[in-house]
Every structure is written in C-alpha cells, then in structure tokens.
Amino acid sequence: MENNQIQTAARIINEGGLVAFPTETVYGLGANALNPIAVAKIFALKERPSFDPLIVHIASYDELKTLTNKPKDLVLKLAKKFWPGPLTIVLVKSNIVPDIVTSGLPTVGIRMPDNEIALNLIRASKCPIAAPSANKFGNLSPVSAKHVKKQLPGVDFILDGGKSKIGIESTIVTLEGNICTILRPGKITIDEINDALHGIFVFNTNKSEKITAPGLLKSHYSPTKPLYLLKEKLVQLPKKSGVILHGACDNSPKCEKIIFTSQNNNQLEIAANLFSSLHAMEDDKHITQIFIEPVIEEGLGIAIMDRIKKAVYKYESIK
C-alpha cells in the first residue's frame, strides 16, 4: 500500500468523511470516532439503525486510556493477550466519546485491529476510528474492496488491502466484576479467553438468554437471494441452486454450482471463505437460491454457525 493512499484516506477522515479500510476480520467503514457528524454519516450510508452501537478502532494504549476511564488490570490483561487482534472489549466510556457512537449506552466497544493498513490509517489520522462492517445493514459482510464497492458505492474512499485474513467479525466481550460475558462469538474462542483469564467466570450469551446486546439481532449477514441450510446432501434441490460445502465428499448434491469453503472442514478456512463464497453466489446470475452446509458448533465453529444461522434466518422463517 502506497503511503500517499494512507495520507489521502487520513485527510478524508480528518475532514469528516468516510473511508472503507481492510482489517483482519472484515472491511470496516470508518469515520473519526470523536466527530459526531462524521459518525452520523456511517449510520446514513449503511442504513444502520441508530440503536446499534459502533466499535471504535485504536492503534495505541494511549487511545484506550482517553476513551475509557482507567482500564482495570483484567482489561489490560485481555488486551495485551489478544491485541492487535479480533477481540472487542466493551468498557465504560469517557466523556470524549460522542453518544451517537455508542447509541446512547454508557459503554463503548474498543479494539486494536491486526492489520498494518488499518493501524497506519488510525496513526495517520491521529484519532480513534469508529467502524462497523462496510456493508448495508443486515447484508453480507465485506471481505474485499470489491464487496465494499458493490454495497456502498457512495463511500468517499476505499483502501484496498486484498482479502481479509480471518473473514468473520471480532469476538465481543464485557467484563463485570468476576464475570466475562461473550456478547458475540468470533475468531477468539471461549476456551482461549478462559485460558487468558484464570479464576474468572467466562460464559457465552449464545448459551444464556440473561444478557442481550443491541445489534445482536436474529437476522443479519444475509445475501440478497434466498439462503437455506442444507440439512441433507442428497435431497433434490430446485433448479438454479448454488451449494456451499465445507469439505469434499463422494456424493455431492446435484445443482448449478458448488463452492467449497474448505476441502477438509478446516475451521480457519471455512471462516476465511464464508462471506466470499456467499458473495460469489449472490453475484452469479445463474443462481436463484443458495444452500449452505452447517458446521459443528465447537471452537471457531460457534462463531461460523452464528453467522450462518443469522444469514438464513429471514429465509428459513418464511419457508
């Protein structure tokens, strides 16, 4: 990436514009997190409801200290273990964070992305960058610059950093007293967090209805064509069906097109290729509906299945 592209992007951020940029999870749609008018443009371009708070991206621990009041030792322990990386920590916000960023909540989600272009953009802009995924609200997440252009042609600038390495969004956690709650499953698994936080009770909201977070909707990440779970490989599929599988098999379904996210059910490969395979099916004019194989809900499979269940939700419920 040319330095002058980063400089141009940083200038746009400082002038209150929007820049789409790569992260290791998915592409983000960024604005100066401390400028409420710029942040409002994110909600407008994405058509995102105002009750759904944004994650603020930082490049240094100094920024963490200005966004939240005195982070506790446990927070620093988690951050030091997983940052830069796909972990968002929800913390009590300081007064400098505009309410629009947090949808009026007293807390703000913060992470340090593991992507040099993203970090250089934040450093060059000299401000934290609020960035949700760079897509229309509720649609497929973008893992390449092309996916961003397809859904958000009106964005001021796109930094093209190739395909996102991880391919699904960050794990989101809150820490209260001796309890760590995973609000959204992601690349970092509950076991990894447990290992990092000895003596702290870690649990998954997916398995408990006790806590609800704004934005944790049942339907999300959906393609513009009907998407269904492929419950059995040998069923007769309608004409013009596209099928997404996660491992090679002897008896593949009969259909128009098959995309493999992995040849051998490798979870890292499935995550990395999940959204790009859905985009490819969405873009293929020979396909009118898509079927996707489920994965086993273990380890990273929990986050992958979370995305798949939400992506099929609106279509499965009207079938």
Interface positions with ligand AMP (CB under 6 A) = 52-53, 55, 90, 102, 105, 107-109, 132-133, 169, 172, 183-184, 213-216
First to last CA, the chain: 46
* Closest separation in Å from C-beta 55 to ligand AMP: 5
Q: Which is nearer to Mg ion, 224 or 263 (CB)?
A: 224
Q: Least distance in Å: CB of 7 to ligand AMP?
A: 25
CA–CA gap between residue 109 and residue 92 (Å, rounded): 9
Nearer to Mg ion, 132 or 253 (CB): 132
Q: Which residue is nearest to ligand AMP (CB)?
A: 215
Among 133, 144, 170, 205, binds Mg ion (CB under 5 A): 133
Please return the burial class of 216, using the count of CB atoms within 10 Å of its CB with bins 0-12, 13-18 and 19+. Answer: middle
Between residues 230 and 303, which has the closer beta carbon with respect to Mg ion?
303
172 binds, among Mg ion, ligand AMP, none (CB under 5 to 8 A by kind): ligand AMP
* CA–CA separation, 188 and 171 (whole Å): 6
From the list 1-9, 77-85, 97-105, 127-135, the region that binds Mg ion by CB under 5 A is: 127-135
Give the Cα separation of 8 and 12 in Å (integer). 6
Q: Which of Mg ion, ligand AMP, none does 258 bind, CB closer than 5 to 8 A by kind?
A: none
Which CB sits closer to ligand AMP, 132 or 253? Answer: 132
Contact between 139 and Mg ion per CB under 5 A: no
For 243, phi and psi rounded to 5 degrees? -125, 135
C-alpha to C-alpha distances, 60 to 102, 127, 201, 255, nearest whole angstrom:
20, 10, 28, 49
Distance CA 189, CA 155 (A): 33
